[in-house]
Amino acid sequence: MRILLAEDDTLLGDGLQSGLRQLGFQVDWVRDGMAAERELRAQVYDAAVLDLGLPRKDGLEVLGGIRRAGFLTPVLVLTARDAVPDRIRGLDVGADDYVVKPVDMQELAARLRALVRRAHGQPQECLRAQDVVLDPAARSVHQAGQPVTLSTREFDLLQALMLSANRVLSREQLEQQLYSWGKEVESNAVEVHVHNLRRKLGSALVHTVRGVGYMLQRDAPKS
């Protein structure tokens, strides 16, 4: 899952970025509101963690701006403003969840996973397709009840495809979800990861839609 973190406190931002990365997220970090709004309009993110007290442009202005423009990225507001009117204002403007600093890293990660699942119409904790079960919190995969060992990129690719099951994702869309800023992307990286998933999970799960991209089929094909 690729996350935009908008936080101007250097110490806190560094801690959040490092902590979320350790928990399996790809994190891009910006330090002011104008940068946050620019990235949310230009890039595809699974979710955003948005501080309200940002320099250059207040977090509520950023949130209101992207919502009026029709951007639906799930947003978790992270702020020291713990007064009830501030929480209500943030939710009314378009926040999907609200956490007051200081926040527990495990709770933050769990809330982000829940936001992303709901945004994709996946209410259950684990993602399921055919005989494959993926647990985002444990970062584990089982097929027909047996554990399957995947690399970090393979897991992230499978998760992206399962969240959008039965929908075609282009190579560019998958690259955006798999790689944060500064990560070198080989031209055939997605193809290699897809090949590895098919080798480990079978060829019936991920389909190539020629000239378009890849699709994970939620239900097994009828014989």
The residue among 93 and 180 whose pLDDT is bigger is: 93
Residues constituting the chain: 223
For residue range 124-157, list pLDDT tens digits in order: 889 999 999 999 999 999 999 999 999 999 999 9
Give the separation between CA 168 and CA 180, rounded to whole angstroms: 21
Q: What pLDDT score does 186 carry? A: 66
CATH number, residue 191 = 1.10.10.10
**Domain CATH for 13:** 3.40.50.2300
In a shared domain, residues 75 and 167:
no
Tell me if 98 sits within 8 A of 139, measured CB to CB: no
Residue that is last in its domain, among 119, 150, 168: 119
Mean pLDDT of the chain: 90
Distance CA 169, CA 174 (A): 7
Query: Residue 181 has what pLDDT?
Result: 60
Is the pLDDT at 223 greater than 60, yes or no?
Answer: no
pLDDT one-digit tens code per residue, 192-220:
999 999 999 998 899 999 989 999 998 87
For 179-183, the CB contacts below 8 A with 24+ separation are: 179/2, 179/26, 180/2, 180/26, 180/27, 180/28, 181/28, 183/26
Instruction: Say if residue 102 is in the same domain as residue 157.
Output: no
pTM, two decimals, is 0.85
Partners of 75 in the β-ladder: 48
Region 85-105: mean pLDDT is 87
DSSP state of 169: B
